[in-house]
Each structure stands twice: as C-alpha cells, then as structure tokens.
Structure 1
Amino acid sequence: MLRGKHALVTGGGTGIGLAIAQTLASHGAEVTITGRRMDVLKQAESLRIHPLVMDVSDETSVVDGVASAVQARGPVQVCVANAGIAEGRALLKTDMDFWRTMMATNLDGAFLTIRECLRSMTGTDWGRVIAVSSIAGVKGLKGAPAYSASKHALIGLIRGLAADYAQKPLTFNALCPAYVDTEIVSRNTASIMQRTGLGEEEARRLMTDINPHGRLIAPSEVAEAALFLCGPQSGSVNGQALQIAGGEV
C-alpha cells in the first residue's frame, strides 16, 4: 500500500511512534525515525526503518534533519508529528521554564516538523500529515493544564492546515489517544508512587481506570488508526481529531 512512499516519524524510537513506524514499514514505506538518542533509535532500525538524530525543539536540527532525510529517501509523503512530553503540574506550580519546555516540544516541534516536511510533500501528488495529540487535546486533563493546552493547540494547527490545503491531494489529521501502554505510563506510575505512597498496581490503576473501557490502549491500536489515514479510502478524512480512547465522550 505504501511502497515507494517515504514516511518520517518523530519520536519514532519508542512507544506510539515506534508502533506507527513499524506498521508503515510493514506496508512498504521507507520510514525515517527521529529522536534525540541514537542508541534508542538504533534498537528500532530495520531494513525499512532508518534512524536520524533530530531534536524537534531545535529549529536548526529539524531543518537540517528533514533535509537530510529527503536527500536520502526522497520527498516526505507521510509526516507523523509524534514527539512529545507528557507531564502534569498544577497551574500555580507551573513556571515559565516548564510552560516553555512543554510548548517547545509538543507544539513548536510539531509545527517545525510539519513545515519542513511540507516543503517536499507539496511537490508530490499525495501526502498525509498525522499529528499525535491526546484525549487531553479535546477535553481538559485534570492536573495538567499546560499539557492540555499544548495538545489543544496542536489540533488547532492541524485544522488550520486542513483548511489551507483542502483543494490539494494532502490531508491533515490528529490522533487523540487516552492512556496508552508505553514508557510514559511506566514513568507516571513511578511518579505517582513517589508522590502518594501507593503501590505499583494501585498507581497504575489510577491511569487505567480513566480509560472508559478499563484498560490501557495498545500502541498498535494507535498505529492502525494512523495506517487507515494513509489508506486508499482516507482522502475525505481531513481536519479531524480521531479519538482512540475506549469510549471517552
């Protein structure tokens, strides 16, 4: 389905990004995965998955990184802006450094990645831009106002681009998962245990129980949604925030 297409996935070495990269590669795409640590990216490297060190919060790194990927594998026709950080903090404990770091990665990083990928994508006859937002992008997440703001803004970026390019053979959509079984959940579990004194099972259940269907979402479920958005019948799905959240309404 994607043979001959070049996909670029930020944060592609672990979690949701890795699942998306592997799924796209299994359907024929040549996939550039980016992240800040080559040792992590190397573990994901395969015949069709190619590691590239890139920091989405650094404009020069994104400009040079995407240009290098295009030179190596041709125009980017599937751009997956996945890299992000998830951390909660009460507003009155949120300083400017925390706020700026959150925005620099979750919003600025997506903006830079999409902008640079579009430079080559717009010269082709087909393209897909997918941003990994969050259920926090469509509803407020208690205890995480900065994170929620960054993910809401990301959906706004996607909707604006969908309107701008509506007459072109490109689509722009956001994926909005609830709690996914990734390293982020593991780190959050440890943080909850430290703050509350709860045991591991109880701390993990606090996140699991937020998902209406009572379980964590598998990264592969998010990846399959991304694959659908790259499929032959997805051309009229544009500007959407697709919730993968176990029935969250």
Structure 2
Amino acid sequence: MKARTCLVTGAGQGIGKAIAGRLSAAGHRVALTARDADRLDRTASGLPGPALALPGDVTTDVDAVFDAVEQRWGTVDVVVLNAGTASSAPLTGTTDEQWQRALEVNLTAPFRFLRRAVPGMTSAGWGRVVVIASIAAKRGDPYVTAYTASKHGVLGLVRAAAAELAGTGVTVNAVCPGFVDTAMTESTISNITAKTGRSAQEARRILENRQPIGRLITPGEVADAVELCLLSDAITGQSINVDGGAVQS
C-alpha cells in the first residue's frame, strides 16, 4: 500500500503506541493524539517515519486535531480510534458520572472522529477507519456495565457506518481485543487485588486464564489485526477478535 496519512488516538502508550509504530514502519505518515503530551512526544520521537504529535482530549478536540493534520499533510486516509476508558463497579453502584464518561470517551468520541473523517475520505474515494473496541462489545461480564454498554454501542456504530459507506472506497471495522498486556490491564489487576486480597500474580493469572491460549494478548497482536483491516475494500463492517479464542464469533 502506498504511503498514507494516518491518525491514531490514544497513542501515548500501550495498544495505540504499538499501532503507531506499525503504521510508521510500513512507511506511512502518522499523526498521534493523546492527553499526556510527554508520553505522546516520546512515542512520536521513536517512530521511524514522519510523525506529528498533537496533545488533546478526544472528547473536545476533534476538529483541532483534524485541522492540524490536514494543514500539514492533507486528507486523513486512515483513522485508528484507540482512545478509551474503563471503570469497574456493581450495576447499582455505577454512578451517572461513570456512565457518562464511558459513553463520551468510548462511543461519542469515535462517532465524532468518524463523522469528521468521512467527507475527506469519500471525496478521495479511499479511506480506512478502525475502532479498537473490546470483546466486551460481544458479551456481558459483571461489574463493567458502563464499559460494556459503550463498547456494544461502538460496535453498532461501526456496522452501521460500514453499511452506509460500502462502495465508496471507505471501510469501517472494529478490532476487539481480550485482556492485553497494557497499563489498563495492570489497573484491572490492582482492582482485583484490592477487592479480593489475592496477590498481583494470582490476579494476573485469573485474567490470563480467561483466554484459552493462557496468556495476555500483546499490543503487537492487536496491531496485526489493524493492519489486516487496511488491506481490502471487501473487509468492512467486521469485528475482529484478538482474544486467544475467548469469544468465537
């Protein structure tokens, strides 16, 4: 694939950092956004190709991010929507603030980025949008009501947008990881430890055992699936599981 202009949200660490590195290594121009400017700069400086670090909040800075990329490189060809948030609480203990935050970051922000990206992509006759969702988009687990609802919602967004854009040269897909070896999973481990008294090693093993391969997914394995989504106009409206066989769909 020829060199494209790419935008990755939540690119300061973890999955987003791995995806940015993969796209850059493939010869693409990569714009990165995240709230932590220092992490973002470190990620950008480590990329082998052209990089543009744009600190910002995905809930408020959509137009500013796109404007900056377009001024530097023109139309954004590839958008990877990786930024996300998670919290854990019983259903009856989930606050309005937790619910709203999950929807705002995990569902409304991707909608706004997708809406902003589509006109340029359709005008060019080519575009790729990949949302990093979760296997929580496909099943329900206890104590993550807000997170699960937001991820189910974003998968619906992907499917509807893909159907609407079919035939334009623009594809929209989701990648649905299981438990990935990232800071977010470390936070989950800490939460399990605090609530159950188990050691961090025991808590990690619980999450590893949720996946038939018996280990956490690596950020690079999620990046593999993102690369797959860029290959063909025929791959659209899909939700690709990267979970070691936990959810077979």
TM-score range, shorter chain: over 0.9
1:237 matched to which residue of 2?
Answer: 235
**Shift of residue 120 of structure 1?**
2.0
**Shift of residue 49 of structure 1?**
2.7
User: Does structure 2 retain, via aligned residues, the 8 Å contact 1:33–1:51?
Assistant: yes
Q: Find the aligned partners of 1:244 and 1:205 in 2 and give their Cα distance.
A: 18
Q: Find the aligned partners of 1:28 and 1:86 in 2 and give their Cα distance.
A: 32
> TM (normalized to structure 1)?
0.95
2:149 matched to which residue of 1?
Answer: 149
User: What percent identity do the matched residue pairs reach?
Assistant: 37
User: Does structure 2 retain, via aligned residues, the 8 Å contact 1:18–1:44?
Assistant: yes
SS at match of 1:152: helix
**Shift of residue 2 of structure 1?**
4.0
1:76 and 2:81 matched? no
- Number of residue pairs the alignment of both structures matches: 244
User: Does structure 1 retain, via aligned residues, the 8 Å contact 2:6–2:78?
Assistant: yes
Counterparts of 1:77-96 in structure 2 under 5 Å? 77-96=77-96
The code of the aligned residue for 2:119 comes to R
2:57 matched to which residue of 1?
Answer: 55
Counterparts of 1:59-208 in structure 2 under 5 Å? 61-208=61-208
Q: Find the aligned partners of 1:221 and 1:203 in 2 and give their Cα distance.
A: 22
SS at match of 2:77: strand
User: Does structure 1 retain, via aligned residues, the 8 Å contact 2:88–2:143?
Assistant: yes
**Shift of residue 141 of structure 1?**
2.3
RMSD, aligned CA: 1.2
User: Does structure 2 retain, via aligned residues, the 8 Å contact 1:2–1:24?
Assistant: no
Q: Find the aligned partners of 2:222 and 2:142 in 1 and give their Cα distance.
A: 23
1:26 and 2:28 matched? no
Structure 1: give runs of 5+ residues left out of the alignment: none
User: Does structure 1 retain, via aligned residues, the 8 Å contact 2:33–2:53?
Assistant: yes
User: Does structure 1 retain, via aligned residues, the 8 Å contact 2:87–2:98?
Assistant: no
**Shift of residue 94 of structure 1?**
0.7
The code of the aligned residue for 1:184 comes to M
TM-superposition CA deviations, 1:129-175 (whole Å, max 9, x none) = 10000000011122211111100100100111011111210111000
Q: Find the aligned partners of 1:142 and 1:217 in 2 and give their Cα distance.
A: 21
